[in-house]
Amino acid sequence: MRPSMASSAWSSYPSDLPYTMAEKDTLYFELLDALQAGGCALCGLARKASDSYLNALLYEGVIDVPIRDELRNARGPCYRHAWQMVDKRGSVLGTAVIYRDIVNTLAKALQQDADAPRRWRGYREALARRLAPSTGCPACTLEQNAERRSAKTLLKHLDSAEVAAAYAAAGGLCLPHFQVVLSHAGEEATRTLAQWQEGALCRLRDELDELIRKHDYRFRGEPTTEEEAVSWRRAVAAAVGEPKPVNRE
């Protein structure tokens, strides 16, 4: 059964519709929540978008023809999202149903032209084309839409003291997502964001300095703060994005 439009994943599908006032509020609070959760807010919101899509696939079923077609044409979600789906609790049946369709499609692609004359030279290319995905990963598309939406929401609320404080407390954005936000920002907004991000990175650098210093045997007696203890992982996240959550969902 296709989930109703009010339900989770499909409500953000497609993405760039004009917002109503109520949606604007929702987006603002969604962003604020993500900032207050700590770490890169756009990583969190992108993850939420792909999660709700994968949950809908697994638990609500995919009988809707366009969605099933898209998934088949994509040969399922990409590597990252396929395994994100497999790692979910209770994913066995949903995954089996989705991949039964994909495996069957691939088997049929291999059967086609199997009897073609040996002298036909186009077989390899035709086969490669039939096997290849003809569309991108739907979960990636939803993540990109969520990133763009969140970037625009952040840009609209740069004058909010609440957002500024939450941005600093979160430790800024990861580099890939900071670049996404910049790609939508004007000159003034860029200056504000650069200042916020610089503040976050300088604080992180100082914490790394302390962590490194306290690894020296002469300073081993000095306790490391909670922030310093996790600063090395946060530094990796600042460069490449947040790791996937370790708990199985």
Binding site for Zn ion (CB under 5 A): 40, 42-43, 78, 81, 137, 139-140, 174, 177, 241
Judged by beta carbon, residue 25 or residue 249, the one nearer Zn ion is 249
Judged by beta carbon, residue 42 or residue 154, the one nearer Zn ion is 42
**Shortest distance in whole angstroms from residue 159 CB to Zn ion:** 23
Judged by beta carbon, residue 12 or residue 224, the one nearer Zn ion is 12
Judged by beta carbon, residue 6 or residue 177, the one nearer Zn ion is 177
CB-count exposure of residue 226 (10 Å: 0-12, 13-18, 19+): exposed
**Shortest distance in whole angstroms from residue 241 CB to Zn ion:** 4
Q: Return the amino acid letter for 53.
A: Y
**Shortest distance in whole angstroms from residue 195 CB to Zn ion:** 19
Please give the full DSSP string across 218-242, using - where no structure is assigned.
GGTTSPPPHHHHHHHHHHHHHHH-P
For the stretch 31-63, what's the b/e string if a residue is b when 16 or more beta carbons lie within 10 angstroms of its beta carbon? bbebbeeebbbbbbbbbbbbbbbbbbbbebbbe
**Shortest distance in whole angstroms from residue 218 CB to Zn ion:** 37
Retrieve residue 243's tokens: 């790791």
**Shortest distance in whole angstroms from residue 221 CB to Zn ion:** 36
Judged by beta carbon, residue 27 or residue 42, the one nearer Zn ion is 42
Centre a 10 Å sphere on the Cβ of residue 173 and count the other Cβ atoms it contains. Answer: 28
Q: Return the amino acid letter for 9.
A: A
